[in-house]
A = this chain, B = another copy of it.
Amino acid sequence: MTAADDSPSPKTALDGTAIRADFPILHQMQTGADGEERRVVFLDSAASSQRPQQVIDAMDEIYTHSYANVHRGVYQIAERATNAYEGARTKVASFINAPSANEVIFTKNATEAINLVAASWGRANLGPGDAVVLTMMEHHANIVPWQMLAAEKGVEIRWIPVTDDGQLDLSELDTLLDGAKMLAFTSMSNVLGTLTPVKELVAAAHRHGALALVDACQSVPHLPTDVVDMDADFVAFSAHKMMGPSGLGVLWGRMELLDAMPPFLGGGGMILNVTTEGFTTDAVPAKFEAGTPPIAEAAGLSAAIDYLENIGMDEVRRHEVELTAYAMRTLTERLGDDIRIFGPAEPAARGGVLSIELRDVHAHDVSQILDEKAVCIRPGHHCAKPLMRHYGVAATARASFYIYNDTDDVDALADALVAARDFFAL
């Protein structure tokens, strides 16, 4: 089965083929059980992205020239390591337009960033009768920490519902926020691709005297981010979804909030003094970075941001909207009634994430058959079980795009889906 016609695929803002040259992992060929060699088509960036040689080189550079533990060494190698680590903080701050680099806290992943807020700010500020508002399209990372807090402190959790076309249903927002202390929500659904109205939600939270935490895992890698414009109180994201390394996440927060919060993890690097009687904490961000931090990883993220800024986040976004539009059109044309695409119908209202259901073929089987065609997608609940339950499905097959994807990749996806449908057809 080949693409419906042989006319060249339309172009998008970025040239995926040219960009792939920078990504060694995307050069590899995969041999199917049919003996055919195929270029790997990676469509799982919403779970974790790939990284260009520039990012790998930046980490190797640390390990081969400038690695030492940071902050306390006087020798030149340690000074270079500290500068690389603190330089990454400054770079992240400017990438998200944070007022101060000291508001950028490095964590191990976005999950830890959200847990930090729930455990430190939440325990110190919430008690019985207080409410935290979440949405039905949250990732477990932005649900479970609040449920743990709720169980411990008797806090109530309220849920903003989703509509069937994958938007937040804000009709009862004021009621839900009434008396709430925190609104924690995703800027972009990792299942549906839905872009939520961040500024509107933050403003609503503030109107009700609640803080707003934005789970920006899916938007920071793909859209321009401005925490001042968002007017958020906390923003969390992960390096590995934006071409940075594994093992690194970011929490940005307003300094006056971070300053007033108790520490989260205790240990070296976060103290001003320790005696047998107790300890005093150092200033933010050190207060929240106990132990040896992800040093080489921070340098890797810094290089990833350079790479993204070099392309321009507006271009990244434009490319992905065009690719998503092409994909929605192509899959509908090729698979008709046999495919269901979850989420908003309008490509501009979403990120480059397509969750689909293929009639009579379970997502797990879809993914297995696509792997035979070297097309990498992800089946499952995508860590968003409440949302899956809303749609009455246990799993979807999710394809997600990044700068290194192009319309050829979408065609390969469509071909493979058609093959999967045909294989399972009665």
Interface residues of chain A, those whose CB is within 8 Å of chain B, are 24-25, 28, 30, 40, 42, 44, 47-48, 50-51, 55-56, 59-60, 63-69, 72-78, 107-112, 114-115, 118, 136, 139-141, 143-145, 147-148, 151, 157, 159, 238, 240, 245-249, 263, 265-271, 273-276, 278-279, 290-297, 364, 367-368, 370-371, 375-380, 383, 385-386, 389
Contact = CB atoms under 8 A, between A and B. Distances in A.
B246 A293 contact: yes
A274 B108 contact: no
B67 A56 contact: no
Contact of A111 (B66, B238, B249, B265): B265
Contacts of A364: 74
Contacts of A271: 140, 144, 385
Contacts of A63: 24-25, 50-51, 55-56, 245
B144 A378 contact: no
Nearest to A24: B64
Contacts of A139: 267-268
A107 B247 CA distance: 9
Contact of A294 (B30, B77, B247): B247
Question: By DSSP majority rule, is chain A's interface helix, strand, loop, or mixed?
Answer: mixed
A412 to B, nearest CB: 13
A114 B238 CA distance: 23
Contact of A267 (B68, B115, B293, B385): B115
B73 A274 contact: no
A40 B48 CA distance: 37
Contacts of A151: 278
Contacts of A378: 69, 72-74, 78
A314 B269 CA distance: 32
Given A111-B268, A111-B292, A290-B111, A367 B74 contact: yes
A148 B364 CA distance: 45
A208 B247 CA distance: 39
A68 B292 contact: no
Nearest to A140: B268
A40 B268 CA distance: 27
A266 B144 contact: yes
- Which 3 pairs across A and B sit closest by C-beta, in order of nearness? A111-B291, A144-B266, A247-B247
Contact of A247 (B25, B74, B248, B273): B248
Given A51-B63, A55-B63, A73-B367, 7 more contacts: A75-B367, A139-B267, A144-B271, A145-B266, A247-B248, A247-B296, A274-B386
Contact of A385 (B25, B114, B248, B274): B274
Contacts of A48: 67-69, 292, 295
A376 B78 contact: yes
A73 B47 contact: yes
Contact of A147 (B55, B144, B279, B297): B279
A377 B74 CA distance: 8
A247 B69 CA distance: 12
A220 to B, nearest CB: 15
Nearest to A277: B147
Contacts of A115: 265-267, 290
A114 B267 contact: yes
Contacts of A296: 245-247
Given A68-B47, A77-B40, A112 B376 contact: no
Nearest to A275: B386
A386 B273 CA distance: 9
A389 B275 contact: yes
23 contacts: A24-B63, A24-B65, A47-B68, A51-B63, A56-B63, A56-B64, A72-B378, A74-B378, A75-B371, A108-B247, A108-B291, A111-B290, A112-B265, A141-B291, A143-B274, A145-B266, A151-B278, A240-B295, A245-B296, A246-B296, A247-B297, A268-B383, A276-B386
